[in-house]
Structure 1
Amino acid sequence: MSRRVVCLRHGQTLWNAEHRFQGHSDIPLDETGVAQAARAASLLASLRPDMIVSSDLQRALTTASALGRVTGLDVAVDKDLRERGGGEWEGLTRDEIFAGWPREYAAWNAPGGEEVADVAERVSASIRRWAAELDSDGLLVIASHGAAIRLGVSRLLGLPPELWSALGGLGNCSWSVLEEGRKGWRLLEHNAGTLPEPIQSDDSPEVTQD
């Protein structure tokens, strides 16, 4: 028996559709995002999760709550599952970011924003903390954000930072599945739930574009 964690990215928001950096800005799901959350909930409920934990930002919490209604589970909230803070870039499109900060854009390092290593550490620590509350065969669903999930999963898998971009971005209401084995965590699925399509996310261009 092994613990498993499903890391679910939130549904679409208007800022996703407009290619705006969201970060810690508390943007709601749009109509498409609500429908995506309902679809994901119907699929993930069949896995019979034991626990649901969400970022405190409403786009993730609304996504998690859709699953909670189907399964009858309460949704715990953890601020450590928030998206990477975007500093001065929050609310701006990628074109606006490139025009104003070409050097920082190349490194995807927002002025006043969070360092990727800090995000990776807080998200992976949150996943470990909540997974430790599961039984040996339990299933946890984490509702979070594109960059936060990718960075947290990379850190949890023990990948060196120079390889973190090897994991591609997550589509809205797509998920990754982790399993805890005798030698640590391993990735069973990544970006499941959708066919390949452009990724609209706060994550870096190198992992969200062809």
Structure 2
Amino acid sequence: MPETRRVICWRHGQTAWNTEKRFQGQTDIPLNDTGMAQARSAAALLARLRPDAIIASDLRRAADTADCLAARTGLTVEHDKGLRERYGGSWEGLTTAEIHERWPEENARMAIPDGEDLQAVGERVQEAIVRGLASVPENGLLVVASHGAALRAGINRMLGLPPELRQALGPLGNCSWSLLGPLRIGGWRLLEHNAASLPEERILSDDR
């Protein structure tokens, strides 16, 4: 039976380390006041889409973002460690400038010497999304609250993009989301990316 469900990949709200341009990785940094406000505002919009299930990383910044949507919808958030951010090893806590100065070549390739491989991140995020979809009915909607690099890697994996094209998909802003829908021939397609508002009316072209 062809896939009919949709997936929203939602990045967490702002943290202090985001504003300081520090690599967060799996360090458990909470949302700041701006991040909480972002999460509440985005949740009010996403609730209008009537999601059927919410899954989230167990790191606080994503879990608290998801809780804002749960409060709006009455749904229970299921936490999955597979949705955690990419492990950053010795880069965690360092600023972008510090990483560039110490590891210029590795930084250009986003190859963390003692960190997690991006392909592995994409695989585990995709697996977590598949687990979450098990509780979503036909034509239903799953919301996935996670992290920027992890979601980008997961989306790339679900779309079947090769590693050399990973940067074809731009980054997600704090509390922005991407929408994935099914392809008629199987697999997934990207319907929206880095969105922060809902379209007033979805009008598709003849080339659907």
The DSSP-based 3-state class of the residue aligned with 1:92 is coil
Return the alpha-carbon distance in structure 1 between the equivalents of residues 171 and 25 of structure 2.
Answer: 15
Please tell me the residue identity of whatever aligns with 1:53: I
The DSSP-based 3-state class of the residue aligned with 1:59 is helix
Please tell me the residue identity of whatever aligns with 2:74: G
Q: Report the equivalent of 1:193.
A: 196
Return the alpha-carbon distance in structure 1 between the equivalents of residues 133 and 93 of structure 2.
Answer: 33
Return the alpha-carbon distance in structure 2 between the equivalents of residues 62 and 147 of structure 1.
Answer: 18
Return the alpha-carbon distance in structure 2 between the equivalents of residues 113 and 28 of structure 1.
Answer: 22
Q: Report the equivalent of 2:135.
A: 133
Return the alpha-carbon distance in structure 1 between the equivalents of residues 106 and 191 of structure 2.
Answer: 33
Matched, 1:94 2:77: no
Please tell me the residue identity of whatever aligns with 1:41: A
How many equivalent residue pairs? Answer: 194
Matched, 1:7 2:4: no
Return the alpha-carbon distance in structure 2 between the equivalents of residues 44 and 38 of structure 1.
Answer: 10
Kept in 1: contact 2:53–2:135 (CA 8 A): no
Kept in 1: contact 2:12–2:175 (CA 8 A): yes
Q: Report the equivalent of 1:26.
A: 28
Please tell me the residue identity of whatever aligns with 1:108: M
Superposition deviation, residue 133 in structure 1? 2.6
Q: Report the equivalent of 1:164.
A: 166
Match of 1:69 among 50, 71, 77: 71
Q: Which has the larger radius of gyration?
A: 2
Match of 1:60 among 59, 62, 69: 62
Q: Pick which of 10-19 and 103-112 moved more.
A: 103-112
Return the alpha-carbon distance in structure 2 between the equivalents of residues 106 and 173 of structure 1.
Answer: 26
Kept in 1: contact 2:23–2:88 (CA 8 A): yes
Q: Pick which of 133-142 and 44-53 moved more.
A: 133-142
The DSSP-based 3-state class of the residue aligned with 1:85 is coil
Question: For 1:99-118, what per-residue CA distance to the aligned partner results, in whole angstroms no more than 9, with x for missing partners?
Answer: 11122112111121100110
Unpaired stretches in structure 2, ≥5 consecutive residues: 198-208
Unpaired stretches in structure 1, ≥5 consecutive residues: 195-210
Return the alpha-carbon distance in structure 2 between the equivalents of residues 143 and 135 of structure 1.
Answer: 19
Matched, 1:46 2:38: no
Superposition deviation, residue 70 in structure 1? 0.7
TM-score, normalised via structure 2 length:
0.91
Q: Report the equivalent of 2:105.
A: 103
Q: Percent identity?
A: 60
Match of 2:81 among 79, 82, 89: 79
Please tell me the residue identity of whatever aligns with 2:189: R
Runs of 4+ in 1 over 2 A off after TM superposition: none
Return the alpha-carbon distance in structure 2 between the equivalents of residues 92 and 57 of structure 1.
Answer: 19
Superposition deviation, residue 2 in structure 1? 2.0
Q: Please, what is the CA RMSD of the aligned residues?
A: 1.1
The DSSP-based 3-state class of the residue aligned with 2:143 is strand
Q: Report the equivalent of 2:180.
A: 178
